[in-house]
Amino acid sequence: MGQSATLTIKEACGELRRQGRQVFDFGLGQSPFPVPTRVVEALRLAAPEKDYLPVEGLWALREAVAGFHRQQDQLDAHADRVLIGPGSKELMFLLQLVFYGEIILRTPCWVSYAPQAQIIGRRINFIHTSFDSKWKVTAEQLMRSLEIEHDDTRPRLLILNYPMNPTGHTYSVGELKELADVARKFQLIVLSDEIYGRLHHQGEHVSIARFYPERTIVSSGLSKWCGAGGWRLGTFTFPKELCWLMEAIAAVASETYTSVCAPIQYAAIQAFHGGVDLERYLWHTRRLLAALGRQCVDILQEAGIHVHPPVGAFYLFLDFSPLASDLSRRGINTGAALCSRLLEETGVALLPGEVFARSREELTARLSYVDFDGAAALAASENIPLDEPLPSDFLRRCCANVIEGIERIAQWVQRTS
Ligand code: PMP
Ligand code: GLU
């Protein structure tokens, strides 16, 4: 195995910048916004905290996380069923490690689920979705795949992620209820990866745990809505029926990382307690991401690329198949070739569909529209009342690199045709 594609593209962009090339870094999916001031201040004050903490996490933080899910998601969450880990990525790995069963993934899916299953040797059942269904798995598709792929000796874990990486979509309440019915029928365990939940652009995220509470683990963390990916703090919230799984993960954790960095856990209490300042921060970030996503889509659609307007997170999944014959004339027949030629010829970095478990030949790529100064953009947004839309020149001023990069993709595609 090689290094994860998200980290490799970050390094490649850094190297090109060091060589003096202009780069539009739409590769790594990292929040552009700063960690909210109160949370940073809490970390400063917590710097002297030096003790190892309980493997499941600091009790006050587990209480804050449970309160957060009770309030925001109407979940029946309790502190003793919350597990704190060094990023939700690590918790997902440990879950797959202790879970003797098969993993069900829709594609395109986040880069690390499948490699994690492969490292551990778990069998994966991929459900491939299409542009026309907004890359969402339907209850019917799920049902069909469960009926065909049947092995009674192994339990099954369905990983759902919404708002979705890499597509920026989410499931409606109706779709979640239908998926929950199928999950219940087949007694699936669901890992509901809601790391982008608070980044639903209208603040309307709904968890499948509301409809299938008894076997859903909700995954969240600080990385996206709180802009703190590098702090490495993720959370799993379990139903009482799955406490045995939490205990198994905690046992492995106790023999590996011991506990998450103490000062980070103390600071995270502030983040999960929430408050008016954090709500304002979220309102501004969502308004900005929604407007920017919309603007990017308008430009890309105009150029003939298939892409849906996003409803959450900061990703677009581009389908260049309408331009396949033009691209083929230029010798571009795979997603990887598309991305490397685009980077070479325009400085725009995208990740090819194949790293999201799509086929090599498919002309798809993920675009993370995060290459801008989030602190400056937030400060500018704060001068505009929240009930007003951002003025028309705002994005060009505050997210210039994103708009320019998107325009370069459009020009490059038109040059192709
Ligand atoms: N799930 C998804 C869909 C992601 O995009 C990421 C990337 N940060 C993660 C999980 C892992 O997040 P973290 O380990 O930072 O909590
Ligand atoms: N989740 C981010 C992405 O999809 C990057 C961080 C990571 O992979 O751990 O690009």
Distance 144 CA to ligand 2 centre (A): 30
Q: Where are the domains of the chain?
A: 5-30+277-416, 37-274
- Order across the sheet with 234-237: list the strands: 82-85, 234-237, 216-221, 189-193, 156-161, 102-107, 124-128
In this structure, the number of other CB atoms found within 10 A of the CB of residue 184 comes to 14
Residue of minimum CA distance from atom 4 in ligand 2: 29
- For the segment 316-351, what is each residue's pLDDT rounded down to a tens digit? 999 999 999 999 999 999 999 999 999 989 999 999
Per-residue confidence (pLDDT) for residue 149, from 0 to 100:
62
The reply to whether CATH 3.40.50.1970 applies to domain 37-274 is no
Indicate the DSSP class of residue 363.
-
- Half-sphere exposure (Cβ direction) of 39: Cα atoms closer than 13 Å: 23
- Asked if domains 5-30+277-416 and 37-274 share a fold, the reply is no
Q: Report the mean per-residue pLDDT for the chain.
A: 95
Distance 89 CA to ligand 1 centre (A): 6
User: With a 6 A CB cut-off, is 161 part of the ligand 2 pocket?
Assistant: no
Per-residue confidence (pLDDT) for residue 40, from 0 to 100:
98
User: With a 6 A CB cut-off, is 406 part of the ligand 2 pocket?
Assistant: no
pLDDT at 391 over 60: yes
pLDDT band at 150 (very low <50, low <70, confident <90, very high): low
Query: Of all atoms in ligand 2, which is nearest to the CA of residue 111?
Result: 4
Query: Of all atoms in ligand 2, which is nearest to the CA of residue 28?
Result: 10
Distance CA 88, CA 100 (A): 20
Q: Which residues pair with 156 in a beta bridge?
A: 102
User: With a 6 A CB cut-off, is 89 part of the ligand 1 pocket?
Assistant: yes
Percent of the chain's residues with pLDDT above 90 = 90
- For the segment 289-312, what is each residue's pLDDT rounded down to a tens digit? 999 999 999 999 999 999 999 999
Distance of CA 138 to the CA centre of its chain: 20
User: With a 6 A CB cut-off, is 366 part of the ligand 2 pocket?
Assistant: no
Mutation test residue for ligand 2: of 110, 314, 369, the one with most atoms within 8 Å of CB: 110
Per-residue confidence (pLDDT) for residue 416, from 0 to 100:
57
Per-residue confidence (pLDDT) for residue 234, from 0 to 100:
98
Residue 272 and residue 84 in contact, taking contact as beta carbons nearer than 8 Å: no
CATH topology of domain 5-30+277-416: Aspartate Aminotransferase, domain 1 (3.90.1150)
Residue 85 and residue 236 in contact, taking contact as beta carbons nearer than 8 Å: yes
